[in-house]
Amino acid sequence: MKIGIASDHGGFELKLLLKERLSKLNFTIIDFGNNSYEPDDDYPDYVIPLAQSVAKGEIERGIAVCGSGVGASIAANKVDGVRAALIHDHFAAHQGVEDDNVNILCLGGRVIGSETAMELVTTFLNAKFTYAERHIRRLQKIDSLR
């Protein structure tokens, strides 16, 4: 699976760890930055290009990490075709994909431990959308708002 990952300074260390561990699991990873720790960087500069790539189908899924995960989620959801969610638990990591077709997982680098983050990421990446009629109907209602 080809995935993208992006972070600002608040998620930089967690991004590096996730990138290293996911590479060992044979995921193809595209890093949208930041490529170095910059304490004054801005998450939209990295999250928006990630979200645009997901929306265009250039990558299958994305992982966006900022300090809390909130800003990354807000930014990613501004891009048509993106369904980003801030996830903190195992159930939401798979259910968000299965029922809501989430395509970008947002994490808070300052609020979640690395082992939990890795568990959530692998759960998210292994989940599949169910294509159940009720889920499609709900997503169509949301998409009609754009």
- Residues with a known catalytic role: 66
Report the amino acid identity of residue 7: S
- Phi, psi (degrees; rounded to nearest 5) at 62: -130, 155
Say if CB 38 and CB 14 are below 8 A apart. Answer: no
Q: Which two tokens stand for residue 135?
A: 């889920």
Q: Which two tokens stand for residue 2?
A: 């080809």
CA angle 68, 122, 20 (to 5 degrees): 80
- Phi, psi (degrees; rounded to nearest 5) at 140: -65, -40
